[in-house]
A and B are shown apart, each in its own frame.
Chain A
Amino acid sequence: MKPAPVKHRFFTPGVIILAVLALNGLIFLAVRFISGLGAVTNLDNNTPWGLWIGVDVAAGVALAAGGFTSAALGHVIHREHYHAIVRPALLTALLGYTFVAFAVCVDIGRFYYIWHPLIMWNGNSALFEVGICVMIYMTVLYIEFLPIVTEKFMGKVNLPGFLETFNEPADKLLRMLNSGLSKTMFIFIIAGVVLSTLHQSSLGTLMVIAGQKMHPLWQTPVLPLLFLLSAIAVGFPMIIFESLIASRSFKMKPEMKILSRLGSMVAPILGVYLAVKIGDMFISDDFKYILKFDVPAWMFMAETGLIIIAFVLFLSKETTRSPGRLFLASSLVIAGVLFNRINNFIVAYKPLYDPVAYFPSFGEISVTVGCIALLVLIYRAVVIYFPVISHK
């Protein structure tokens, strides 16, 4: 069993729905780029960051963490039986980070200056660190994906018409690239893991500087650690989630052998995350804020509750054996981490002066949903064309 293009038609009713959602998002995107952020978003001087930073960027980076956790497992710790999930996870991370970079371009006011951080540095800025790491990591992800492309075309280069004479050189070039990549790939894989560790945690440092504008339930100096742990924790559930959806959509047998093994590793990571999160609450004595039972309190309970339920589910062997339960438990982790990022960047941010509390506009939601839909479509197209998913 090795990775091969999935033999399945691209269009299905679900795909049409996704395409419509993507188109809807693109329309609002066009408005944003023509008329400015205010025309589409509910952002203002009180709430400068909203859904696009909270979900598209922060949650996007977290949910793409499967790329580095699986690379660490499959290549660094070198467990070969996980190789079947490395490529799908890599593709998810690659598309996820591309989506994040795109979302950043959409959100920043001067999108045409996106390259500025490359030459204008501020080492004190957590955002600078996140930005640089994400840029480098994205490059690394594309390099890691290259062998899949060379594998697809090697020995099959067939250019049309007069370009035919270039078939031979093109093939040679591909082979050279492939063998060069083979020999150096370990450099990129380790770099990918290090870069991920860095920016996943620095993403947590981002909101620390907001000081008292952050709700005390989330404002803590251990935020970077919590962000890193939750990113690691959501990596495998995200791989499981996708793998099960892909199997269902392409009518393939779920890779339960691998997924169960992955699932059995989730509980310990979630345990460490919960221990740090709840332990920190004892130290900072934040429980009083929960007893207020206001929106932040409920949101905090929701995110923590989701993770606790998922933790309990993953503790049981039953969960890891059945695709249905595994899917449920994984979805809970994903929802918990998604809630956490939304909470950290949107719910916890309480402006000093704000007559109208922020809630994302229809346009903002459309763009976010549209981008996710587009992402799923691209993923589908890629696995149909390139050897990503391992199957019979």
Chain B
Amino acid sequence: MKNLNRRDFLKTAALGAAAATLGTKSAKASEKLLSEDRLGVLVDTSVCVGCRHCEWACRLAHNMPSPALDYYSNPTVLKEFRRPDKTALTVVNEFENDKNPNLPIHVKIQCMHCDHPACVSACIVGALTKNEDGSVVWDDGKCIGCRYCMVACQFQIPTYDYDVSIDPHIRKCDFCTERRKEGQLPACVNICPNEALVFGKRSEILRIAKNRTKRKPDIYINHIYGESEIGGTSWVYIAGKDFNELKMPPLGKNPAPGISEAIQHGIFAYFVPPVTLYALLGTIMWVTKRRNESADKDKHDHHSDSHDHHSDSGRDPYRTSGHNTYRDSGHNTYRDSGHNTYRDSGHNTDKDTKGDNL
């Protein structure tokens, strides 16, 4: 399966004009790569009973240490609001149900697998990839641990191992890519006893979500969270309560990386602005240099012997003129000619400072 990032890599590697054309093409191609058949999961919060078996299955599937399954039936854990961390890629939180206090709402959280992921756009080394199947995955071999993905993520999902110095990981739900390769369902979907999680093509699960919300307006509010939030996510939610109150961030419809990438590509635009700036500065330098040189020439006419050195070093924009004379002559000459040059360059710096000191 091709992934977006390889295309992006090509795009960034494009240096010349020809390569830049290639870049334009791959940028367009990456839009197309959001496959119509990409996958997703519908989280029906009104069906979830908060058994937290998904948390257990997730740990198992990712070889993370886990207490025995019995532990997960302890309801007190649900009393506090939890977030994914290095011990859990997914967690279930409980919220009050205004309509029926005996049936609290449970919301499972994990990576949303955005269609236009900010983390993928942000990652300095392209360690995060949006795959054609919809999943967003992290590459252990590339990550440098800068945590910019965490800054960028609009759902605040990626977590980091703050307690180790060597080989810290960025952790987040990987949509059980390994399991799916073997033809299995994602671990959480697989274990969910109530079918609160529906796995399938994103288009299909959106259809199911619309059906449910339309058919049972007494249970669901008319909002499929993730359908259009920041350009759409692979995981979508339906609920009987405003998503704000379920601590899902209120987000607009524009993809998160949109503005940032527009600025970035505007500044670079196939290296035209930087190269133009370089040429412009070069021209200014050349012009001012020539002007100074001709000004110098007028004043140096009677100094014909030292003048040669000056025109030599005059092409050198960095050194104060006169340094090169050292090469040809002894120590004293160096000092003297440097001294003279300064005075002769027409700015009187030396003289003035001397005057100050007297």
Binding site for B on A (CB under 8 A): 1-3, 32-39, 41, 43-46, 48-49, 72, 75-78, 80-81, 83-84, 107-111, 113-114, 116-117, 120-129, 131, 144, 147, 151, 154-155, 175, 178-179, 181-183, 185-186, 189-191, 193-194, 197-198, 201-202, 205-213, 221, 224, 253, 255, 257-258, 349, 351-353, 392
Interface pair B8/A109, CB less than 8 Å apart: no
Interface pair A108/B151, CB less than 8 Å apart: no
Asked if A209 meets B121 with Cβ closer than 8 Å, knowing A80-B345, A179-B324, the reply is yes
Interface pair B151/A147, CB less than 8 Å apart: no
B9 partner, pick from A48, A109, A121, A186, beta carbons under 8 A:
A121
Smallest Cβ-Cβ distance to A192: which chain B residue: B281
A117-B124 Cα distance, complex, nearest whole Å:
7
Interface pair A185/B316, CB less than 8 Å apart: yes
Asked if A1 meets B8 with Cβ closer than 8 Å, knowing A108-B144, A209-B256, the reply is no
B347 at the interface (CB under 8 A from A): yes
Interface pair B318/A208, CB less than 8 Å apart: no
Asked if A80 meets B347 with Cβ closer than 8 Å, knowing A108-B144, A114-B144, A182-B318, the reply is yes
A3-B127 Cα distance, complex, nearest whole Å:
47
A2-B121 Cα distance, complex, nearest whole Å:
49
Asked if A185 meets B327 with Cβ closer than 8 Å, knowing A123-B8, A208-B260, the reply is no
Asked if A110 meets B167 with Cβ closer than 8 Å, knowing A124-B257, A154-B326, the reply is yes
Interface pair A353/B156, CB less than 8 Å apart: yes
A32 partner, pick from B5, B125, B165, beta carbons under 8 A:
B165
A202-B125 Cα distance, complex, nearest whole Å:
16
Since A35-B163, A155-B326, A351-B156 are in contact, a sample of 9 more A-B pairs with Cβ atoms closer than 8 Å, ordered by chain A residue number, is A36-B163, A45-B162, A77-B288, A81-B348, A121-B12, A124-B257, A129-B267, A182-B316, A209-B260
Nearest CB of B to A44, in Å: 7
Interface pair B284/A120, CB less than 8 Å apart: no
Binding site for A on B (CB under 8 A): 5, 8-9, 11-13, 81, 83, 85, 118, 120-127, 142-148, 150-152, 154-156, 158-165, 167-168, 230, 247, 249, 251, 256-257, 259-261, 263-265, 267-268, 274, 277-278, 281-282, 284-285, 288-289, 291-292, 313, 315-321, 323-324, 326-327, 331, 335, 338-339, 342, 345, 347-350, 352-354, 356-357
Interface pair B11/A349, CB less than 8 Å apart: no
Interface pair B277/A194, CB less than 8 Å apart: yes
A-B contact pairs, 19 of them (CB 8 A): A37-B160, A45-B158, A76-B288, A80-B321, A120-B125, A121-B9, A122-B125, A125-B124, A125-B264, A126-B260, A127-B148, A128-B124, A129-B267, A208-B263, A212-B251, A257-B349, A258-B349, A349-B151, A353-B81
Leading 10 A-B pairs by shortest Cβ distance? A109-B145, A123-B12, A38-B162, A48-B147, A185-B318, A78-B288, A48-B150, A120-B125, A81-B347, A122-B126
Asked if A221 meets B259 with Cβ closer than 8 Å, knowing A120-B126, A257-B353, the reply is yes
Asked if A108 meets B146 with Cβ closer than 8 Å, knowing A121-B9, A175-B327, the reply is yes
A49-B167 Cα distance, complex, nearest whole Å:
19
B278 partner, pick from A33, A182, A191, A212, beta carbons under 8 A:
A191
Nearest CB of A to B223, in Å: 18
Nearest CB of A to B24, in Å: 13
A255-B122 Cα distance, complex, nearest whole Å:
45
Smallest Cβ-Cβ distance to A78: which chain B residue: B288
Q: Which residues of B contact A353 (CB under 8 A)?
A: 81, 83, 156, 247
A44 partner, pick from B81, B162, B260, beta carbons under 8 A:
B162
Nearest CB of A to B119, in Å: 9
A76 partner, pick from B156, B161, B284, B339, beta carbons under 8 A:
B284
A2-B348 Cα distance, complex, nearest whole Å:
13
Interface pair A43/B123, CB less than 8 Å apart: no
Q: Which residues of B contact A197 (CB under 8 A)?
A: 274, 277
Asked if A37 meets B278 with Cβ closer than 8 Å, knowing A120-B126, A213-B154, the reply is no
A80-B350 Cα distance, complex, nearest whole Å:
12
Interface pair B154/A77, CB less than 8 Å apart: no
Smallest Cβ-Cβ distance to A352: which chain B residue: B156
Nearest CB of A to B178, in Å: 23
Q: Which residues of A contact B256 (CB under 8 A)?
A: 209, 211
Nearest CB of A to B277, in Å: 5
Asked if A189 meets B317 with Cβ closer than 8 Å, knowing A78-B288, A116-B144, the reply is yes
A131-B144 Cα distance, complex, nearest whole Å:
12
Interface pair B142/A120, CB less than 8 Å apart: yes
Interface pair A194/B281, CB less than 8 Å apart: yes
Interface pair B148/A182, CB less than 8 Å apart: no
Interface pair B143/A127, CB less than 8 Å apart: no
A253 partner, pick from B13, B164, B321, B357, beta carbons under 8 A:
B357
Smallest Cβ-Cβ distance to A195: which chain B residue: B274
Asked if A45 meets B165 with Cβ closer than 8 Å, knowing A1-B349, A80-B292, A190-B282, the reply is no
Interface pair B342/A2, CB less than 8 Å apart: yes
Nearest CB of A to B328, in Å: 11
Interface pair A84/B349, CB less than 8 Å apart: yes
Interface pair B285/A186, CB less than 8 Å apart: yes
